[in-house]
Amino acid sequence: MTATTPTRPLLYAAGSNGRGQLATTDMQDAHSFTACTFDGCQRGTLPEGTLSIIAVRCGGNHSLALLSRHHRTQVWGCGDGTKGQLGPAYVHEAGNNCAIFRPISLPLEDHGLSEYEISDVAACWETTFFVLTQHGEHDVLISMGGDDFGDLGIGGLGTLNSTRKASPFHIIDFTHVMGPVAHRLSITDIVAGPHHAVALLRSGNKQHIVGWGAARHGQLGSLFAPSGRTLPFAPSPVAINLPIDVQLDPVCSVRVGNQHSLYLHASGRVSALGSDSKGQLRGIHIVEGVQTIGCSWNGSYLRSHLGLLSTGADARGQLGRDGAAETHLRPVNIPDTPRVIDFMCGSEHVLCLLESEGHTEVWGWGWNEHGNLATGSLDDVKVPLRIWPRERGETGEAVGVWAGCGTSWVAVSFPASLTILDSGDLISSGSR
């Protein structure tokens, strides 16, 4: 048996930080990757017992880290919590108190949910969603925070009474869309843009796609009032109908931008809904063999055997094409040798995890006004650029990337033998 070297995961962030959403202990934008701080931990370390960082999800000014810890999942949050998007403990917090990750605590027992575990998270601008799972029971989706465009998904936009406003979270109801559920309800995916959200549901062998929030541009499909006018938002979940029959060709993942939504089917085809004002839907329907999809606010990205393709807005280099004027679907200008492992889209920038010569690298491009591409400057990046490791041969393997509204995140696996300084920097045990 081959022995494995013990490793420890660390989390670094760069970019917009006006409300402490990078968890770097201050509220200054970070123009290079900076170690995140978790409450009760030395800077640059994760909570004891953390096995991995499952995901980082970002709203406008708040961030959520989903950790695998002691073989259970746990959510930590930082940044703006004044609308309740980080739970009741953050509502009255401000300043640097919000600039570190702290565990999010909710009174789940009040709703008989104490035995449930958080399995997935998503975030709108000022709203947070948790998927709760318990073996043998229906999955539950809860929401908390702002409700500007029906983001909470609980109906009654603008008419929430004081009792409902004071509730730390709300349970989203799907029965009016699905009808009686004979089999266990599973929430297989939940994604959110600035002001609309989409969930994939499954009961038995039937898939349901539902969405809520902003809908004016058709990002939730065609929604009309009884008068015939287009509805600007859906404050409760509505059924989303796609051009491709999801019972014959199920949707396996969803991504959403500001005013559009993409759906990847099991066949490798893609359905799209919403605005095409920036060319973000141009050519999407004709690509086959798509493996992964992504959305910036005004762009779309597909990974297939043709490489990583992009279309949409490109004023800040978001399409990664060396300044090419064409906005229709074309390959991103990534070097030929590395293999694309994964990619993540922020508001108007993209991070790509590549494998090169047996090692992982993070490349990025697009909007960089807040230093979110960690180049040390605020210049936009129009040609994909390696941003991690900062120097060739630097210790640490990138194992995950995430992107938010002007923010970038990299999970890095380091040998456990490295010593972490108070600054969050690392030195090898043999160099002290």
Tell me the domain boundaries of the chain: 53-367+380-389
CA 111 to chain centre: 27
Could you tell me if 251 and 207 are in contact, meaning their C-beta atoms sit under 8 angstroms apart?
A: yes
For the residues 334-338, what does the mean pLDDT come to?
77
Topology given in CATH for the domain delimited by 53-367+380-389: Methylamine Dehydrogenase; Chain H (2.130.10)
Is a pLDDT exceeding 70 seen at residue 121?
yes
Q: Reduce the secondary structure of 305-340 to three states and give it as a string.
A: CCEEEEEECCCCCCCCCCCCCCCCCEECCCCCCCEE
Percentage of the chain lying above the pLDDT 70 cut:
89
pLDDT value at residue 358:
83
pTM: 0.93
Residue 179 or 375, more confident: 375
List, for residues 198-228, the tens digit of each pLDDT value: 999 999 999 999 999 999 999 999 998 888 8
Contacts 24+ apart (CB under 8 A), 383-387: 383/317, 383/320, 383/322, 383/323, 383/333, 384/320, 384/332, 384/333, 384/334, 384/335, 384/352, 386/361, 386/362, 387/33, 387/351, 387/362, 387/363
